[in-house]
Amino acid sequence: MFQAVSIFLRLNSLFAGVYLTQGMMVSPDRASAIIHDIIDSGGKQADVPANHRPS
């Protein structure tokens, strides 16, 4: 679980740069939902980019 969160935080940092350059930030609520999705799935989705995961 902690590994999944750590992977997410690294991905989030990467995507944050992309979102900033594109002018579209992920809302804190959305980011929180993604974190909970990853934790609930036991980290199985940690390798799926947040912007490709079905909402």
Q: Cβ neighbours of residue 26 under 8 Å, at least 6 residues apart?
A: 15, 16, 19, 34, 50
Rounded Cα distance, 39 and 30, in Å: 14
Per-residue pLDDT tens over the stretch 2-55: 677 777 777 777 666 655 555 455 566 777 777 777 777 765 555 556 565 555
User: What residue ranges do the domains of the chain occupy?
Assistant: 2-46
pTM higher than 0.75 for the full model? no
Rounded Cα distance, 9 and 12, in Å: 5
Q: Of 39, 48, 49, 47, whose CA–CA distance to 15 is shortest? A: 49
